[in-house]
Chain A
Amino acid sequence: MGTQELSYLLLGLSWTLGLTAIGFAGGIPFGIGIALMRVSSNNWLRRPAMAWIGLFQGTPLLMQLFVAYFGLPLLGFNLPAWAAVAIALTAHASSFLGEIWRGAIQAIPKGQTEAALALGLPDSSRMFDVVLPQAFKISLPATVGFLVQLLKGTSLAAIVGFIELTRAGNIVSNQLYRPLLVFGVVGAMYFAMCWPLSWWGRKLEQSMSKGINK
């Protein structure tokens, strides 16, 4: 494998990172929205959030990519491939992050909310200044775990035809006729990106369980 092939793979890798970043960055605000709707006592907010989570966790990411890729143009949006993929990844991320953060919000002891109420804090302050900062800390390991999952998930954009790392590997492998070498290198690149994140997530989890046992 020459430098030309390697630089092509690295170009694909930059797209993989880009898609992950867009999906994650987009997933954060929508994920917070989904989590807040999901813990709301109002049925009109809670039920749609539950449906949203069930829809994205009950179907393959590949189908979500296909539906966004072919469906968005039908709705009149003329988008480049990467934008359709990014929208699907954002929606996917919002449902998973929403469910993770829902769990974290509900894990905060009720006394915290009651204390905030007793102090006369307004509703928004109670959620954003008291509950969410603590929930954020609890949810960090699972959030990092999902980031790894999202990074791996971007590889499915290859099946839709978008040239990221896996698709680049496919193309190079077809040129060189050395699939094992190429996919070995591609796999190693993914590993180099995911493993430090997994390691960090595990460290966070360990330090947190220590804190709980104290």
Chain B
Amino acid sequence: MKLDFSVVANAWPNLISGTIGTINLAIAGMCIALVIGILGVAILRAQMRMPNLLVNAFIEIIRNTPFLVQIYFIFFALPLIGVRLNPTATAIIALGLNGGAYAIEIIRGGVESISKGQTEAGLALGLHKHEVFFYIVLKPALRTIYPSLCSQFILLTLTTAICTSISAFELTYVGQRIEGETFRSFEVYFTLTMIYLVISFLTMGLLNAIGRWAFNYPQR
């Protein structure tokens, strides 16, 4: 057994651009996921029959099929409806749809956790409707769901690795190219694993710090 990490180390510029690609995919995917999440909750709260059914069907389908199958399906389906996108854009859409289904569930839970009495208390204190929504409904709801949203974001970041299957530009794709050139499979994937570990730890630390700063007020 002879390990040779030098070929991997020599490819560091590629690894860095791959890491940036991974972070880009994760952030873009999460932004779409949040938009879908908020829209989905708005639709569910409107209590209309057909749209409600569609949103719930969307959630169930996404949550009960593997991301790999979803990304293949979207990759082949988009050209058929006349949308020609590069693999990276396709991957962002797939990540956004996947994350969106989970985001709907999380945001719904947060909004439902705010009791009606709280809104009424705000109004009774003479706050404006918008003030009530922002300071009394949205802010505590966000604080409640923030940890779940953070772990969902980490999960999404790790899911980006699967986007290599449609050759979207991210870390695993870069790794597979290095592997193809050097045949140092174990060294490449071990290094990638460590990079992913660093990415998720740094992201978690950053998100926790943001959470402490943003929600730094007494609970009761």
Contact = CB atoms under 8 A, between A and B. Distances in A.
Contacts of B159: 60
B64 interface: yes
Interface string A149-176: 0001101101100000010011000000
Interface centre among B60, B61, B161, B201 (most CB of A within 10 A): B161
A136 interface: no
Interface stretch (A36-44, A111-119, A178-186): A178-186
Given A148-B64, A191-B64, A195-B60, A60 B69 contact: no
Interface stretch (A2-10, A66-74, A204-212): A66-74
Contacts of A71: 186, 189-190
A190 interface: yes
A148 B200 CA distance: 23
B211 to A, nearest CB: 18
B196 A59 contact: yes
Nearest to B2: A74
A74 B164 contact: no
- The CB with the most chain A CB atoms within 10 A, among B68, B77, B190, B204, is that of B68
B80 interface: yes
Nearest to B80: A180
Contacts of A155: 66-69
A166 B69 contact: yes
Contacts of B60: 191, 195, 198
A54 to B, nearest CB: 8
Majority secondary structure, A binding face: helix
B19 to A, nearest CB: 13
A76 interface: yes
B189 A63 contact: yes
A148 B192 CA distance: 26
A187 B196 contact: no
Given A158-B68, A191-B65, A183 B73 contact: yes
Contacts of A81: none
B164 A76 contact: no
Interface residues of B, number: 37
Contact of B158 (A60, A158, A170, A179): A60
Nearest to B187: A70
B73 A187 contact: yes
Interface string B176-219: 00000000011001101100110011001000000000000000
Interface string B157-176: 01111101100000010000
Contact of A180 (B65, B77, B158): B77
Contacts of B14: none
Contacts, number: 113
Nearest to A155: B66
Please indicate which of the listed interface residues A59, A63, A64, A152 has the most CB atoms of chain B within 10 Å of its own CB.
A63
A169 B196 contact: no
B76 interface: yes
Contact of B65 (A61, A170, A194): A194
A63 B68 contact: no
A55 interface: yes
Contacts of B68: 155-156, 158-159, 166
Given A153-B66, A191-B64, A194-B64, A60 B161 contact: yes
Given A75-B1, A152-B64, A158-B68, 15 more contacts: A59-B158, A60-B162, A60-B196, A63-B161, A63-B193, A71-B186, A74-B186, A76-B1, A153-B66, A159-B165, A166-B72, A183-B73, A186-B69, A190-B69, A191-B64
Sorted nearest first, the 4 A-B pairs with minimum C-beta distance are A155-B66, A60-B161, A194-B64, A179-B76
29 contacts: A54-B201, A58-B158, A58-B200, A58-B201, A58-B204, A59-B158, A59-B197, A60-B161, A60-B196, A63-B189, A63-B192, A66-B185, A67-B186, A75-B1, A76-B1, A148-B64, A152-B64, A158-B68, A169-B69, A180-B80, A183-B76, A184-B73, A186-B69, A187-B70, A190-B69, A191-B60, A191-B64, A191-B65, A194-B65
